[in-house]
Structure 1
């Protein structure tokens, strides 16, 4: 997996890389300078000594001898001055010759067909050179280590305002409406500009949330009066004995729709308050109580469409739940099953952990199962009267209450919604 360093790590890496390059350049420069000086100075010294030897070699009385730490050789020379095998193939100029445990600098010269070699013991120089190179290496490593420590220190100093800003932003998420401005708490630098940008964005978000909250509250409140008028009118019309069965059936649908709209408006209001942590105490109901109520409400409509309604209130938990939210979730799932099922059955099964709503409708392909929980999203084969809002509302409520909703395919076709409940 590709390594993605954070900002603090990038600062440390930048310090280490920069120091490595600079210290490495200095170290290589020192090593190169030592080698250059070594070759130039020693070659000049040995060359001068060899020149003096060669001048003395042409005199009848040769009194000049090599220094105590020098060795002199001549091709086809007598005795100890004979050219050894390890020098015969060397070209003219300066060389380093190693004869363990000693090391020598050598100058090779060829005059009038004869080769001359002068060697000088450099063992002490090599030891000092190794010590120098060791010091350079240790200095390089210390520089890199110090750069790492300095990078960590500077990264913490640089990141401290950002970490402070992030902490304040996280606290503002919990106290969105009461959070003070961030910009005055930071200097007018880049971090201060970022804090000011957060203030501007948060101000716009606060205004949008306020507008949404007011809209939800106003709509939920203002819908109550016309819904009450519709419900009262339906009751008066249903009491009229002159109306036939067909008219009574339509009035019943209007009354049920009115009741659903009233419950839905109340749910939206409670949901808006709950999402802003302003929810009041809601009525607590058991799953069996809500399920019995909705099963009686939806059975007639489901069976009037020619479908079979299977209600299995077997074992249920004794827990109590948020009544309006539970009623909205279960009602939306039953409505969804009714709208998208043309033949077969709709089933509601209760269990100790929650409930299952299953149908034999057209089903939802696997590639659309995640999308159907988004607002205004419907499957490619969707039909019926839905607008793609019900399942989004179900998921919002389940997320708010800590419940879990899962969608799987029913066999041989259809949908199966499982809702796992947690007591309030």
Structure 2
């Protein structure tokens, strides 16, 4: 379980590229349909020309037969009269007998025949061998090549036009994306929708403008709230610290006057703990206010000695281990200097160690540092399976927890703020790893 939100690894699909691709595909499809229609028209015109010639020949033969009572020879040398399908050339006879309504037949060695029925009772057929009159077949390869080159040329021009159109279409979107991407939480852009055209992009810009305006107002309310919280919390904490300091100075003076050699009493130890707790609460409040405001600390990358921070956190939370057979193991690997905000890291350590100390009844709590990661392990009961997936959500806690369920939620927000990665491992206790690389 990680405190960082997994990045979106889905493949980027460029809108401009899709526009160009779809435009080119559409142009190729139109070109292919145009080529098919062109070939169909060419063959249709060719057949119409042949049919017209045969019609003229049939009219001439019919007129001569009516005038003389005999059928003359056709005027065109490529045409013959047949008075039965049985007298047709062998290469088409069987097909003509099997398909009496068919008018066009393919013969051998490139010959091509057309049949025109002059009369049916008795049957009179006009047969024309038209292979020398076919115009489309000899130039079919050239026509195909011409259509292909034309399609490629038209597609190239269409792609170029689509590229210009897509650039012009997506330019406002890119400008809007750049505007939103460069926006800072404390300086959200306002009244920018008027810069964009009155179309779908303009609608999107106006919607974003309204949303960012609402976010800006919410951030302003949060800043005002955090300022009030800062004042209201810091004032009583300062009063507590000053009161404890005054009490300690009075007690120290009284003891030196009455019993100079007297050891500090229980009351003094308790007051010292109250003072330390108030001081730590003051630092914690400051850290949480920084988190609430989403402000990056100026010393985020300052050098920090880890060992004193861990030791201090152990001492501050040691009361949680009173009466428990629990051993705290602080590994020498924590003697390192790291690049981190000391206050942030102290809040993190306090939350993690207080949880470990509170819920470990016996066994061991160990703190180590390895591969730029802080490791805190305990032999406690672990995390219940039903809340494990949501353990870093605010208000989520175990059945026997006496807290409010905000400890790990604060740690999660702190990690997100500092660019750290938090991993929680459950089993034979709990192991929490904080990778301090950003």
- State the shift of 1:327 in Å: 0.6
Asked if residue 228 in structure 1 is aligned to residue 245 in structure 2, the reply is: no
**SS of equivalent residue, structure 2 residue 103:** strand
* 2:396–2:405 Cα contact (<8 Å) kept: yes
CA distance in 2, matches of 1:4, 1:327: 41
Deviates more, 1:399-408 or 1:31-40: 31-40
Query: What's the offset of the Cα at 1:76?
Result: 8.3
The residue aligned with 1:388 is 405
Q: How is 1:260-409 mapped onto 2 (pairs within 5 angstroms)?
A: 260-272=280-292, 275-277=294-296, 279=298, 284-299=303-318, 301-315=319-333, 316-319=335-338, 321-351=340-370, 353-365=372-384, 368-378=387-397, 381-409=398-426
Aligned-residue offset at 1:177: 1.7
1:347 and 1:329 map into 2 onto residues whose CA distance is: 16
Higher relative contact order (CA 8 A, sep 6+): 2
| Residues 285 and 322 in structure 1, CA contact (< 8 A), matched pair in contact too | yes
CA contact (8 A) 1:19 1:144 kept: yes
Secondary structure at 2:187 match in 1: coil
Provide the secondary structure at the position in 1 that maps to 2:128. strand
Aligned to 2:57: 49
Pair 1:92–1:109, CA change in 2 (3 A) = farther
Structure 1 residues 5 and 50: alpha-carbon distance in aligned structure 2, compared to 1, 3 A threshold: farther
Matched, 1:415 2:426: no
Pick the aligned partner of 1:155 from 151, 163, 166.
166
For the pair 1:38 / 2:46, whether they are aligned, the reply is yes
The CA RMSD over aligned residues, in Å, is 3.9
Query: What is the correspondence of 1:171-210 to structure 2 with a 5 Å cutoff?
Result: 171-173=182-184, 176-177=186-187, 179=189, 181-210=191-220
Q: Distance in 2 between matches of 1:3 and 1:314?
A: 45
2:332 counterpart SS class: coil
Task: Check conservation: 1:43, 1:94, Cα contact below 8 A.
Answer: no
Report the number of matched residues.
410
**3-state SS, counterpart of residue 356 of structure 1:** strand
- Cα distance in 2, alignment partners of residues 187 and 63 from structure 1: 80
Alignment of 1:3-42 (within 5 A): 6-12=14-20, 14-16=22-24, 18-19=26-27, 22-23=30-31, 25-42=33-50
Q: Which residue of 2 aligns with 1:169?
A: 180
> How far 1:288 moved relative to its partner?
0.7
- Ranges in structure 1 where 5+ consecutive residues have no aligned partner: none
Counterpart CA distance in 1 for 2:128 and 2:47 is: 13
**Secondary structure of residue in 1 paired with 2:304:** strand
* TM-score, normalised relative to structure 2: 0.77
Q: CA deviation at 1:267?
A: 1.3
SS in 1 for 2:209: helix
